[in-house]
A and B are shown apart, each in its own frame.
Chain A
Amino acid sequence: MTMLSPQLAGEAPRNPLLGLLGQALRNPSVLVGGFIVAAIVGMAIAAPLLGTVDPVRIDPAVRLRPPSDLAWFGTDLFGRDVYSRVVYGARSSLLVGLSVAAFATAFGVLIGLVGGYFRAVDIVVMRVMDGLMAIPTFLLAIALVSLTRASIGTVVLALTIPEIPRVVRLVRSVVLTVREEPYVEAAISVGTPTPLILLRHILPSTIAPLLVLGTYVCAQAILVEAALSFLGSGLPPEIPSWGNMISEGRTFFQVTPRLVFLPSLFLALTVLGINLLGDGLRDTLDPRIAKRM
């Protein structure tokens, strides 16, 4: 009496999300982006091993030297080694980017899940989110940083707050779609309690779009951190970061453009890698995500 179509018999059980991730690893954007990101991350982790010297050591005797065997990228206004500063700069950028992506996602998911499922909460939450979205991200971040003492923590906080509404809107839109699915109704009708429905049946649907959005938030945070530092309102100047380097270099831009261009190149490359990764993930995991963001 049992029937099973022949193609089913030979097929192994396959988790659809894992299957998609496997597909993503064959996507050229994911490969190129992933390679760039891996290289930059590797550089940040292995910074002390890459022929660097102390990136903050000031040596007035060797100010603004051109590139040489001793200092591969030359030295800056204070005689610091530009190569070492660029390599160590990756640490600050990645730290800011990843923390902002992680915090914004965590808070966004929490607020979005609850808001999307309970209508009473939703109305209040969405008004607040609309309001936050209306304040220019960048100005809000600048104001937050300049109000408090500049440190990695405040920069991360200042960049996280404006990103939360984007995550909330995405999660909420997924929740609103998924909770209408018959399989959610089926779960209700077999008596699954609401918190379990959220965790078991709704949350997993947000993973793929969040992975994609997370890469964009990370890229955006790195860019904004650099812009903040560029305007003198970001990370404290003693921390070697690409934004700080560009900011210091711009005074002498017409004389030594490399002080601006070298950190810029690494900054752009990093963001490019993350964006490529995000685009590739989007194309394989959830092609319709563009509409949700």
Chain B
Amino acid sequence: MLAFIAKRMLAVIPVMAVVSIVVFLLLRLSPGDPALVIAGENADAEAVQRIRVALGLDQPLLTQFLVWLRTMLSGDLGTSIFTNLPVADLILQRVEPTLSLALATMIFAILVAVPLGTVAGATAGSWLDRTLMVVSVVGFSVPAFVLGYCMIYVFSLQLGWAPVQGFTSISKGFLPFLRTIALPTVTLGLAYMVLIARITRASVLEMMGEDFIRTARAKGVVERLVVTHHALRNAAIPILTVIGIGVALLISGVVVIETVFNIPGVGRLVVDAILKRDYPVIQGVILLFSAVYVLINLTIDIGYALLDPRVRY
């Protein structure tokens, strides 16, 4: 068991190494002089040179990478070109709304998707199953920002149930928090929910055809327990996997949804940085998001061992 966990943790290293190389190269290998790109086309030569030295661009590529990697590993994500503030501080200021939104979305999506998917899978072909499948394909097809505007149009502009935009911290009370977070959560959560529900349905359906389901029925176990105790329990691994992979969907969604609902989170930060070409901020946020994704999936990987005795060896 410990060996399994250790192995999984070691596997993170090459993944993060590839991530850092790609993030590093993103800027360095772009066509043209990165310093010129950053400074903008109208900058004078002196400004360009200043940026070049500040970024260490006059050094060989490998040296640049090692220097960059060392600063990143020490927790220093660099300094924003525009605000001159440390990137880590900028992210820290913005982390609460993003974290709130992401957690609310995960809880909402999992709580809705797993039961729905299970029932649909166990009763494949029923009206509930068919409805869910139709809703799910529509849910996959509506872009989050379009859905966001629909939500704002109906619930904020027409019905006035929710504020149009903005974010209220949970420290100002749970209900005000819920009022502002509800629409973005549902908007962001729909695709994630659909993804989880579809995999849950497919996995439960597949498990329902397994021999041990027949054995359970032959033992006289009630159907509800056959579904939960045997089918869903064995479907847990694919469901967990998709919850982990879906985090990528959430991260992409956060960036868009924070713009739609004007939420001052990390997503907004990176979009602003991209429009202003504030590369240290872009790099910092991408690295952070990748690390979060890798860590969540590492946790899930280790979770496999708890769920499936065959993985523990």
Contacts and interface: CB of A to CB of B under 8 A. Distances in A.
Interface string B116-157: 000000000000000001000110111111100110110001
A230 B37 CA distance: 22
Nearest to A130: B15
Interface stretch (B67-75, B104-112, B289-297): B289-297
B18 A131 contact: yes
Nearest to B27: A147
A214 B295 CA distance: 29
18 contacts: A131-B17, A134-B15, A134-B18, A136-B252, A136-B286, A138-B252, A139-B282, A143-B274, A144-B26, A148-B31, A227-B143, A253-B152, A254-B157, A260-B149, A268-B146, A275-B137, A290-B199, A291-B206
Contact of A268 (B142, B271, B277): B142
B255 A143 contact: no
Nearest to A136: B251
A291 B252 contact: no
Interface string B167-185: 0000000000000000000
Contacts of B290: 134-136
B137 A272 contact: yes
Interface residues of B, number: 54
B30 A148 contact: yes
B18 A139 contact: no
A63 interface: no
A98 B297 CA distance: 31
A140 B140 contact: no
A43 B37 CA distance: 39
Contacts of A146: 274-275, 277, 282
B60 interface: no
Interface of B: 14-19, 21-23, 26-27, 30-31, 37, 133, 137-138, 140-146, 149-150, 152-153, 157, 198-199, 202-203, 206, 238, 248, 251-252, 255-256, 259, 270-271, 274-275, 277, 282, 285-286, 289-290, 293-294, 297
Contacts of A14: none
- Central interface residue in A127, A131, A224, A254, by most chain B CB within 10 Å: A131
A257 B149 contact: yes
A228 B199 CA distance: 27
B293 A275 contact: no
A47 to B, nearest CB: 22
Nearest to B17: A131
A170 interface: no
Contacts of B152: 253
Interface string A243-257: 000100010011001
Given A268-B141, A268-B142, 4 more contacts: A138-B255, A253-B153, A260-B146, A275-B141
